[in-house]
Amino acid sequence: MLKLYNTLTKKVEEFIPIDPNEVKFYVCGPTVYDYFHIGNARSFIMADMVRRYLEYKGYKVKFVMNLTDVDDKIIKKSLEEKREAKDVSTDYINAFFEDITKLKIKKATVYPKATEHMHEMIDMIKKLVDKNYAYNIDGNVFYDVKRFSEYGKLSGKNTEELEVGARIDANEEKKDPLDFALWKKAKEGEPFWDSPWGKGRPGWHVECSAMSCKHLGETFDIHAGGNDLIFPHHENEIAQSEAANQKPFVKYWLHFGFLNINEEKMSKSLGNFFTARDVLKKYSAEAIRMFFAQAYYRGPLNFSDDLLTAAEKGLEKINNLVDKVNSEIKKNNSGIKPEFEFNSYYKKFEEAMDDDFNTSQAVAVIFDFVKDVNRVVAPLDNVDVSFYNDVKTFLTKTAENVLGIVDFNKTTTGDDKLTNDLIELLIRLRTEAKQNKNYQLSDSIRDRLKELGVILQDSKEGTTYKIGK
């Protein structure tokens, strides 16, 4: 039984999809005005793990992630760079797909773009205006927060206290400082679309309401995003969708904790961020995912090189077994098949993930599994290939398909045959040198190869190699 923490009720609840045949899952995607940073990546990756686990459980998942391609920041960048907003967003959409592919994030079912849903957004705003939830002032349309009595139910804020709060910017045009823009009148030189209220563009919040409604329906199962979206973004989405459709908007709200640097939130505005693509230059997708998986998705997490390196080192332990399994399967030996309770590891893995996606616990189960496999195999000379097939199946289903921290197809040997053969030749020469007790030569071969990134590993069965980064 899968349980998850619902921000709306502030409780851990049993997950029961509205339609038992298909889970409808929406995640707030990027505003494409820049590369996304490793903190954004945390949300994308954790949402990906949730989605993959739902699939592991046998659910069909319709996974929707929006691309915000009309926005103040995009316009600003396009003015700075003196080119079309469209070109800016197209470039960063392409970059976004490059990065998530490298991070081994599964593709969404749909990536709706704001610019391709003008009609739906205008329709929704019309509905809100008709129902008196919105008002038009000289081409700017605002949502009338006072009209929606449940405003604040997600974030636990009440409207009176919000108004007391000093930091709300009082827009001279709005009836109430809490009201937010549904349609913004176009200024000179800005991209615009025609609407019943004149030329302009939609506000950010209405985008997610309109697009999720189109692709997932008026009520759907899971809506996820970073903690900072709870207010006002998700609160506003609820206000819009529920007022327009007169139906509950989302059943389960999932929010991800921040990635911090020196105990401080990583963010574009603070300037203390690393882009995902820069981090990927130094660490593998598996290491990055491992780092995130080792912490609970809702809590804060500190980012540093040391912590990434620690995750990477831990991963090596699992990868050593992956390499061994791959080579044993290639050898296809028959022999003893050791007793091993695979089922108990599946069960423990599922218990961990069922408990509000306790990936940290799930990773611990993987480590225990690896340790126990090594222990069982250590004293045996001849292990049957069927055992390694079972090991591979377990790791594929859990570590590879759900967590994405392992890749059985990643080769640690040379990509092409010539490289392979040349290294094998050097290994043979070194072995001969060793047999002749010419250790000076054998060590020199080992050291020179290491300088080239080829690491030799001696063992009872002979010397193997792997190509480091």
Partner RNA sequence: GGCGCUGUACCCAAGUGGCUUAAGGGGAAGGUCUGCAAAACCUUUAUUCGUCGGUUCGAAUCCGACCGGCGCCUCCA
By CB under 7 A, what part of segment 245-304 binds RNA?
256-260, 263-269, 294-296, 298-302
- DSSP class per residue in 403-422: I----TT--SS-SSHHHHHH
- DSSP class per residue in 140-209: EEEE-GGG-TTTTTTTT--HHHHHHSTT----TTSSSTT-EEEEEEPPTTS--B--TT-SEEE-HHHHHH
Interstrand relation of 23-27 and 220-226 (parallel, antiparallel or unpaired):
parallel
List residues bridging with 224 in a β-sheet. Answer: 27, 254
d(CA 99, CA 201) in angstroms, rounded, equals: 28
Token representation of residue 181:
């823009």
Residues 442-461 that bind RNA (CB under 7 A): 442-443, 446, 455-460
Query: Could you tell me the smallest distance in angstroms from the CB atom of residue 8 to RNA?
Result: 12
d(CA 292, CA 359) in angstroms, rounded, equals: 9
Residues, the chain: 469
Indicate which single residue of 162, 216, 325, 423 sits in contact with RNA (rule: CB under 7 A): 162
Decide: 47 and 224 in contact? Cβ < 8 Å: yes
Residues 365-384 that bind RNA (CB under 7 A): 367-368, 370-371, 374-375, 378
Q: Does 171 bind RNA (CB under 7 A)?
A: no
Query: Could you tell me the smallest distance in angstroms from the CB atom of residue 21 to RNA?
Result: 28
Which residue number, 22 or 320, has a Cβ lying nearer to RNA? 320
| Helix, coil or strand: residue 343 | helix
Decide: 426 and 414 in contact? Cβ < 8 Å: no
Which residue number, 76 or 83, has a Cβ lying nearer to RNA? 76
d(CA 358, CA 366) in angstroms, rounded, equals: 13
Which residue number, 22 or 34, has a Cβ lying nearer to RNA? 34
Q: Does 93 bind RNA (CB under 7 A)?
A: no
Query: Could you tell me the smallest distance in angstroms from the CB atom of residue 246 to RNA?
Result: 25
Q: Does 230 bind RNA (CB under 7 A)?
A: yes
Q: Does 161 bind RNA (CB under 7 A)?
A: yes
Query: Could you tell me the smallest distance in angstroms from the CB atom of residue 7 to RNA?
Result: 8
Q: Does 112 bind RNA (CB under 7 A)?
A: no
- Which range in 120-128, 313-321, 335-343, 391-399 contacts RNA by CB under 7 A? 313-321
| Helix, coil or strand: residue 434 | helix
Indicate which single residue of 6, 31, 78, 89 sits in contact with RNA (rule: CB under 7 A): 31
Query: Could you tell me the smallest distance in angstroms from the CB atom of residue 320 to RNA?
Result: 4
Which residue number, 28 or 100, has a Cβ lying nearer to RNA? 28
Query: Cis omega (within 30 of 0) on the bond before 112?
Result: no
> DSSP assignment, residue 406?
-
Query: Could you tell me the smallest distance in angstroms from the CB atom of residue 466 to RNA?
Result: 8
Which residue number, 229 or 402, has a Cβ lying nearer to RNA? 229
Residues 51-90 that bind RNA (CB under 7 A): 73
Query: Could you tell me the smallest distance in angstroms from the CB atom of residue 19 to RNA?
Result: 26
**Number of residues lying near RNA (CB under 7 A):** 89
